[in-house]
Structure 1
Amino acid sequence: MLLLAQIDDTKDLEGKVSSKDGDVAATHVLNTTTKRASITDINGFFSIPVRLNDTLVFSAVQFKKKQIVVTQSIYDSKMLLVPLDDELTELDEVVVTPYNLSGDITKDLLTLEIDPVVTASTLNLPNAYVRVPTKAERELFEATSGGGLIPVTPILNAISGRTKMLKKRLARNKLYNRTLRVREFYTDSLYRTKLHIPETNTDDFFYYCEIDPSFQSIVDTHDLFKIWEFLEKKSVTYLQNNSID
Structure 2
Amino acid sequence: MIDKIICLLVVFLSQVVWSQNQERIVLNGKIISNTNDLEGVYVVNAQTEAMVTTTADGSFSIKAKSGDILVFSSIQFKENRVLLTPENFSDLNYTVKLNLLMYQLQEVIVKRYDNINAVALGIIPSGQKSYTEAERKLHTATALNPTANAGTMAGGSISVDPLLNFFSGRTAMLKKEVAVEKKESYMRLLENLFTLDHFVNKLKIPLEYVKGFEYYVVENDKFTAILNSKNKTSTEFLLGELAVKYKEIIAIENK
Bin for the TM-score computed over the shorter chain:
0.3 to 0.5
- Give the structure, 1 or 2, with the largest relative contact order (CA under 8 Å, sep 6 or more): 1
Bigger-Rg structure (1/2): 2
Give the alignment's TM-score, normalised by structure 2.
0.42
